[in-house]
Amino acid sequence: MTVLDLGILISGRGSNMEAILSSIINDKSSQVTPQIVISDNAEAQGLRIAAEMFGVPVLAIPGRGLRGWEYDSKLAAALEQHGVTPAKGLVCLAGFMRLLGPEFVRRYSARIMNIHPALLPAFPGLHAQRQAIEYGAKVSGCSVHFVDEGTDTGPVILQRAVQVLESDTEESLASRILYAEHELYPLAVRLFAEGRLSVEGRRVRILGQSQTGA
Ligand code: GRF
């Protein structure tokens, strides 16, 4: 029985998408069905990976010239056609470079996740790894959060810290953070599918988690 219909939105490489799809395939008891991967960029490498490695339906919806709901309504229609409905779907943003407008966010309220390569609320927006280095942070990391109407402001689901080394460049820090992202995002999807995430205001409670954090 399908418990959760998943849609993933990407714009490029798609390594987080790949980590999510791999974890679903490798988990024999997974209750998640990846229904569609959509990109605003027809050249996105992740589209090929989704189709060729995982056999997931893919769709390019180029965004040029389309603003706000003009674009978002196309996304919503495509997701719903593929079974990713506001009632029983989950939309994962995985390197999706467009901001979703309020209509879309309200429609899929508490059913859209994003991954950000910093420990929010630090370093939101673009170039989070560069921001962390330039700020002189000793620790950064990644955050999976629900999407609200702001940019990287929604309730945090999971975070993982990564040390910033003196020798780090933007690229070296990004690649260590990415490694952590690939563990964290599939875990967040699994917790959602298991019905273990409950949002209370800004706080996301993880049901069944021991107080020691296990
Ligand atoms: C990741 O660093 C993610 O945190 C950010 O965009 C990047 C996407 O990488 N939102 P990929 O396309 O998943 O490889």
- Tens digit of pLDDT for each residue in 139-196? 999 999 999 999 999 999 999 999 999 999 999 999 999 999 999 999 999 999 999 9
Atom of ligand 1 nearest to the CA of 12: 12
Backbone phi and psi for residue 60, each to the nearest 5 degrees, phi listed first:
-105, 130
In sign, the C-alpha dihedral spanning 136, 156, 177, 214 is positive
95 lines ligand 1 (CB under 6 A): yes
Q: What SS3 string covers 123-175?
A: CCCCCHHHHHHHHCCCEEEEEEEECCCCCCCCCEEEEEEEECCCCCCHHHHHH
148 lines ligand 1 (CB under 6 A): no
pLDDT at 212 over 60: no
Substitution candidate for ligand 1 out of 41, 112, 115 with most atoms within 8 A of CB: 115
Model pLDDT, residue 213 = 52
Q: For 48-104, how does the pLDDT look when each residue is reduced to its tens digit (9 = 90+)?
A: 999 999 999 999 999 999 999 999 999 999 999 999 999 999 999 999 999 999 999
Substitution candidate for ligand 1 out of 181, 184, 189 with most atoms within 8 A of CB: 181
Model pLDDT, residue 80 = 98
**Catalytic positions:** 116
Strands (E), the chain: 4-10, 32-39, 58-60, 89-93, 112-116, 139-146, 156-163, 197-200, 203-206
41 lines ligand 1 (CB under 6 A): no
7 lines ligand 1 (CB under 6 A): no
16 lines ligand 1 (CB under 6 A): yes
User: Rounded to two decimals, what is the model's pTM?
Assistant: 0.96
Cα of 55 vs centre of ligand 1, distance in Å, is 21
